[in-house]
Structures are given as structure tokens and as C-alpha cells.
Amino acid sequence: MESKTNQAPHQPVKYDYRFKVIMLGDYGVGKTSTSFHYLHGEFKSTFKTTLGIDYEAKMVNYEDNIIKLLVWDYPGEEIGTSATRVYYTNAHGIIILYDVTNRSSFESIDQYITDVRESSAFPNCQIVLFGNKSDNEEARTVGYAEGFELASKNGATFYEGSAKEGVGINEAFNALIGKMMAEAREGKFVEEKKPAFQHYPLKDPKITNKKDKCY
């Protein structure tokens, strides 16, 4: 039985649009730390391993519109299966990450893009490609030009940055929000317009004492 507390209920927060954003990428590329930095404004390198899929919500003011952004963190396992593609249902935006020091994670990008296009995400789902861990320049194995070329080939917006240093993250999310808003204003998303809704802030992800090196 679910326990109850005497805490006062949260006040409802009005918003104009609601967007579902999925964080994709191989294990260890820094999806959780990147989304955490965007949502909470700080870097953490130790997280409980993502099991299944987690999401958090953030209210964003964009050009006088209040947007409820639902950021879903996908664990990055078993790509290409019907079980994983169900997570993409009605996704408005995707941020696909790779690690600039791990070429294998970059080579997985094509499969993620194929998954998105074959899934039940909106047909005009917007994509941002994000090369993480640019702070570790000495270990880089994927050049900036390679990431830019791959993004351009797939009609995606490209950014490099670092969850550890907080570089490029807000820019990437803001670019994605702008792309989603442009589609929404043209009526290309079926469910983008929402009435006033109750928003319950989620707790910070649980922290363990084990470093997963996923920054």
C-alpha cells in the first residue's frame, strides 16, 4: 500500500506546450550526466545505473511560451528491437549522444537514427547530434568535422560539448526546443498543445558510491 504524507499538494503549473525528448546513445557516452546538467545546472559523475528508462520534467520559458519538457533517459542497450522502439512513442525531439573519445559510440549513430525513423516517434521528430567529452581532447578519436558531416547528412543539428564542464549543453537543448516549436507552430505535431496541467518535480537521481565514468 502506498504511504501518504501530510505535505501540502503541489500547485498546478500552467504551460502552453509539452514536448517529449529522448536521450539516446551507447552506454557510457554521458546521457544521464548531460541531461542532469541541463535539468539541475550541475555536474555529477556518479549515478545509479539507469534501468529501463527514467524521465524528469523541466518548465522552460521560450519566446513567451511556457513549455513542459519531458526528458527521457534511455539506457542504451539492445538498440533495434521492438521493445526499445516503444520508448520513442510520440517523441517530439531526440538528442543522440556519442563520446568523442570512443569511436564505436560514434559508429552507432546511424543505427539510432534508423531506429527513430522506424519507430512511433512523430514523423517530423527533430534530432540533435551531440558529441560529448570534448574536454578530453588528448583522447579524441572522432573529429568535429566528422560529427558535423554526419549530422548534416541526416538533417540533424550538431553540437559538441562537455557534461563535465557544462559546455554546449544548454545550446543543444535550446536548439532542439526551437526546432520543435517551429514544427508545433505549423501544426505538425498532433499532441503538442496542452491545457493547464499539474507538474510534480521529480527527486534527483539516486547516487551511489560507485563511479560509472559516464560523463
Tell me what pLDDT residue 133 has: 97
CATH of 17-185, picked from 2.120.10.70, 3.90.1150.10, 3.40.50.300, 3.30.930.10, is 3.40.50.300
- Rounded mean pLDDT, 2-15: 56
- List the beta bridge partners of residue 13: 197
**Mind listing the pLDDT tens digit for each residue in 85-135?**
677 888 999 999 999 999 999 999 999 999 888 887 888 899 999 999 999
Length of the chain in terms of residues written: 215
Buried b (16+ CB within 10 A) or exposed e, 94-113: bbbbbbbbbeebbebbeebb
Q: Where are the domains of the chain?
A: 17-185
Q: What is the pTM of this model?
A: 0.80
